[in-house]
Amino acid sequence: MSSSRFPAVVDDVTVRLIAAVVLVIGVIALATQQWWLYAVLAVDFSLRAALGPQASPIARLVQRWIRPAVSAPKRPTAGPPKRFAATIGAVMTVAATVLWVVALVTGSSGATAGVVVIGAVMVLFPALESIFGICVGCILFSGLMRLGVIPDEVCLECADITKRRDRLVAERTGQQAA
């Protein structure tokens, strides 16, 4: 069992709403060239990946104010792939922040170009998640599990799809999953 406070199961609707907030921040950063916003996202992603959604200001904002206004029922999904996706977001936004600082200090247009490229990815990935429910980090997580890089124990539900099916059937019938 991990010492992380990241939940084993998360609400996919909430995750998509968090991605929508990240998307908005990413679009603002790119459109206005306010690269410091990547530092804000880096802190948020790092907190979420390391300590769970309760440590993330964006996740807390969504859970407290946005999710209650959305009438869609909860859709449980495995937490470990979402944590992996948050870790990818942390790495990307930390890299963008470092490149921004390098560009600030050196005036390097190459560093600024790197920030823009990462910024485009940080718009694309949350757009795919929030609009279409496609989690790129989760797809990578699944591939790494199939390759044996990530052991099955990290996400038993991911390794055995029947667990998810049994849980969904139990939820529909109001019974306890086996």
Per-residue pLDDT of the chain (178 residues; tens, 9 = 90+): 344 578 999 999 999 999 999 999 999 999 999 999 999 999 999 999 999 999 999 999 999 999 999 999 999 999 999 999 999 999 999 999 999 999 999 988 888 999 999 999 999 999 999 999 999 999 999 999 999 999 988 888 787 655 656 666 666 676 655 5
- Give the C-alpha distances (Å, rounded to integers) separating 128 from 43, 79, 91, 162: 22, 18, 18, 26
Torsion angle of alpha carbons 76, 78, 137, 6, nearest 10°? 100
**pLDDT given for residue 164 in this prediction:** 59
Cβ pair 135, 81 in contact under 8 A: yes
Number of CB atoms found within 10 A of residue 76's CB: 17
Cβ pair 157, 168 in contact under 8 A: no
Determine the residue type at 10: V
Whole-model pTM: value is 0.86
**pLDDT given for residue 162 in this prediction:** 58
Cβ pair 142, 77 in contact under 8 A: no
Cβ pair 141, 81 in contact under 8 A: yes
Dump strand ranges (E) for the chain.
9-11, 76-78
In this structure, the strands spanning 9-11 and 76-78 are antiparallel
d(CA 33, CA 112): 10
174 DSSP 8-state letter = T
34 DSSP 8-state letter = -
